[in-house]
Structure 1
């Protein structure tokens, strides 16, 4: 088959287009990589992306080289804390959050650090009980401490409370603390459906994508 000048010209244009497209993709990949920063470089209140979610920096713990963070929005589905009891260690929600842990860590099991979580109840019972987790919830004291960074996510309409780690009492195993859309702390039945906002402690040297202000 003999190619005329027009055929040769069209083939040449197609080759040039392929090369340009590859260069553009490579440039976009390099631009994306250049946006990665070490988590330690962010300050309290900054937002970054990890594992398909956006997270808010709550506390840079310099001495342990870790960063305490909370998911900016809620998880997609509401969940009960547990059907029967406000004990975090045996709760169905604790088990459910393991899937988030595996999604964040992937093949790198050092991305998240274990956190010792105090299970002190609202009425002062359970004072000596703790739990060690890589994915957890805010305690009531932490909510009070970081409240100014914790608006109710506007992309989730409605008045469904988001659940905290803090039980109301050891004597009343059906009640758990939660935050309503106005920011007020409420006592709720642990088997109702809650919005879920996980917290994690990341290694401060992991590379993340900072979200612009």
Structure 2
């Protein structure tokens, strides 16, 4: 497959079986994203947005279809191989921050670098925390950081690896409006600097319209793929 695309999604379907029978969560989803694109996945709660994001990350398997990350079919790999691929190519930002409570800010940001055997992990993590305005909070643990500060640590952890693809799931959902707006401004700045392909799930129309494209999901179907009105 062409290597010009960071992510290629072809005819992805996801279904589950429960006591009532088979439930299809995603129906025949296909799209491609190029390097440096910013894309918002939008739709009502329960439409399948987060399931699609989990499949893009290789954390959930589709029932059928393929997902290629930089030309690599993710689901011909075993779990360990997918984890290694994620470590090299993906960054994540979650609504609930997902910081490790027993690690301070610096250690949280160092962790993905250390797992890859990067020798100057401390220096890189320190520089990234300074970039997000937390140079004075390196030794602080998540419990003493505000929500906005925790999300800045999460951004630093995601971008410190300069991932090919950054996935963000409602990244401002736990923050007040002003803090969320500041965090999103920082995310878009970091994304431009790193040249990352950004895919974010959001209910916020203003955030969605800052992305170059919008993918609208309704009842598990991709019903619209369009350029946003006000690209970032």
Query: Larger Cα Rg: Structure 1 or Structure 2?
Result: 1
TM-score by length of structure 1 reads 0.26
